[in-house]
Chain A
Amino acid sequence: MEALALDVDSGWSLTPLAGTAPAPTLEARRFEGHSLRIEAAAAPTLLHLHYAAQQQEEAPLLAIELAPGARCVLLETHGRAGGAATVQNLQLFLRLGRGAQLQHLRAVQPGPQDRVAHQLNAHLEQAARYEQALLATGSAYHQQRVEFELQGEDAEARIGGVLLAAGSALEQQVQARHAAARTRSTMEVLALASGTARVEVSARTHIAAGSSDAETRQRLAGIPTGGQPRLLLRPHLEIHHDQVQAAHGATWGALPEEALFLARQRGIAEAAAKALILEGLARAALTRAIDDTALPEPLRLEAALRSAVAVHLGGAPALQEVSHG
């Protein structure tokens, strides 16, 4: 694969995977920022979008539009061109046309001194489907904010997040607005925190009047993995229609004791067993949002997750899984 860095000064680079046709292009907009349009095609468009921070302070903006019926798998990763800490305020606008589908895998792992705020707004039209799997790690300041509007009937959004913070700060805010009948939203976040970390997760769903048979589900979980971290989990529902299904919950807990004992009883050292189990829990949370097992390896979050869990626990990554036909 060859990266198409269409605007080298922008920080964005776009890499279509082999077989993707027609290859979309990043375009500079009249206002500061870039846009990307994905057209409908016989097969899903597979893209890797990477942003390398260019300046010590910056506010990149990108708008992505999926045409009606378009399908896309998008891996979004972040890094930085230089070594200095950055202050970043990134905005990402998504618009999914009728029946469009976007699987959005995101890995945002800033440096320890970076101060990062990402705001993502998604607008879904009739029968559109948006799935997001987010892997995020803590830094001096890191906020991920997602707002999605389910404007068309039968639109669906599914957000899965794994947040890891070891002595750092991390916040995720997810807000769903149901504005049509039979819309569905699912939010599931697993937060792992250690040391003096502070992790906050807020999930908020608003179901407007007239959204018959809307369904929403929020599931927030926090596991302290060492030290005295602060884990704040806030599920919230605001419902203005009677005929809906809603469930929400937040759980704080330890590693599953019996699973840990099983692993150790089979001879796996305690630290390795913890890493294996945490990675598994995180992987399960992401997989429930996007099952990436059938995706090409370069688009999966698996390796990044393994590495992030290992770093979080202060050790080496657990064994790599063997592929099994």
Chain B
Amino acid sequence: MLRYTITRLAIALPVLLAAVTASFILIHAAPSDPVAIMFGAVRGGSQVGATGTQRDALRHELGLDRSWPEQYFSWVARTAQGDLGTSFRSRRPVATEMGNRMPATLSLGLTALVVQAILGLGLGALASRHPGGFVDHVTNAIAMILVSVPAYWLGLIFLWTFAVGLNWVDVTGPPDPSRIVLPALTLGLVMTPPVMRVFRTSLIEQQSRAHVTVARSKGLAEGVILFRHVARPAILPAITLLGISMGEMLGGAVIVESIFSWPGLGKYLLDSILARDYPVVQGYMLLTTFTVVIGTLVVDLLHGFLDPRLRTP
């Protein structure tokens, strides 16, 4: 297991480095001058008073006067130490700013993950009982609708229905933990179909496996067969999908947070984009990559733990 863990970590590192490099290239390929933006941001949009000397001083402070390989290596070194640069707007470290908003996004993402897991696994299991039957068709239709509905429309419909139409949710009042329900439901629902389909398919596959026939011919109780012999191996691909969807969730969070004014990372990213606060944009991209890589890693390790055959790659 240790060796497997080390191999997995070794595979994750190049992806991280590639993402760090990509974000460096993106920022430097962007057709805008950070110094001009910083003076604009600091002085409320006007660049009056930014003399050539001041600009050069700032350019030097940011290290923009050095050659780009030099800039690249110092960027990689700083990122490795968790230093994501300084926000143009607040002049505070991006890592700190993002850390402050992390809990809101994390709680939203985890609640959505629970919604996704319960609905995905539940509906998948329901559909797999009688493939081609009525329930299978209904769940298939639900999946088709959920996969086609844009999150930004579903969220607004939820908001209108529950806040305006039914008046169940108070969106204007003080912050309150129950307000997580609608955004988490929106995010979880649109991400349900893949989990549902994969779990359904792998459950059906497992049902026809030899060890299930043996279990059935021994006269084991149906519940034991389903949970121990069918569901346990069938859940592996579904777990993979749940792990991979962590990154998609961060993307979806940008939209959902903006609809529900949820004070998380996604909303912070959008505000930063409008203010052209590029270090934050860059930091967000790195954070997302990091989350995806960690998510994949956790899934792989979990697989190795659940299925010893996978430990030898």
A pairs with B: no
